[in-house]
Amino acid sequence: MIDRKNARLLALAAMIVFISTVAVLLARQFNIGPERPAPDFRTFGPKTAPVQIYEYTDFSCPACRHAAGKIDEMMKIYGPGLRISFKHYPLMDIHPWSFHAAAYADCAGEQGKFKEYADLLFENQEKWAQSKEKPKEFEAYAAQLKLDWPKITACADSAETLRRLKLDIAEGDLKGVNATPTFFINGRRAVGGGQLVDQARKFDNILRAAKP
């Protein structure tokens, strides 16, 4: 038989466990918590920028292509006020080659040309995204950018690359990302290019103040 003191302590322990569990689950849902840094080659803008954007993107998604243009525009307008980090969130159920594209883009990034490779993937999305066989474009873009293709394929097959991509996807899942592109602008969620611009306007004053 549990005595009165232990009964009180058990009730308190149960309360602490319950409240802390609910708090952590809510924090996950509302995206409170540390953001995993993206690799340097996928991050653009100064570390100290007042507005930090994380974009979960998929190279096969037309809305992501559209948003990429908006991001480039914002980078030009706001310059040092903005830092953008790309995270991969390939929707593999509907885009058969997006995981491969993400891996090749990262490996192009290892050779210093992530952005250039990503731009080519987005610009020519219709040519490869729904291809029945493995698209030849992946190699062609590497050649166009004078990248070492055998090195890229080895890198894309490596456990390290696979792990990095899986972690991006897992992080997106944890944050409740279910559509691309999803942005987190100083922690605030925006889905699609339209919401991105709307949210960015809220930081307009900060962004303009940061202009040189």
List the one residue from 136, 163, 208, 211 that touches another protein (CB under 8 A). Answer: 163
Site string for another protein, 172-201 (x = CB under 8 A): -xx---------------------------
Tokens representing 204?
């307009």
Does residue 30 touch another protein according to CB under 8 A?
A: no
Does residue 166 touch another protein according to CB under 8 A?
A: yes
Does residue 37 touch another protein according to CB under 8 A?
A: yes
* Stretch touching another protein by CB under 8 A, among 29-37, 50-58, 84-92, 189-197: 29-37
Does residue 112 touch another protein according to CB under 8 A?
A: no
List the one residue from 22, 77, 154, 170 that touches another protein (CB under 8 A). Answer: 170
Does residue 33 touch another protein according to CB under 8 A?
A: yes
Tokens representing 16?
């602490």
Identify residue 162 by its one-letter amino acid code: L
- HSE, CB side, 13 Å, CA atoms: give it for residue 82: 24
CB closer to another protein, 136 vs 166: 166
Does residue 36 touch another protein according to CB under 8 A?
A: yes
b/e code 161-190 from CB counts within 10 Å (16+ = b): beebbeebbebbeebebeebbbbbbeeeeb
Does residue 20 touch another protein according to CB under 8 A?
A: yes
Interface residues toward another protein, by CB under 8 A: 5, 8-9, 12-13, 16-17, 20-21, 24, 27-28, 32-34, 36-37, 163, 166-167, 170-171, 173-174
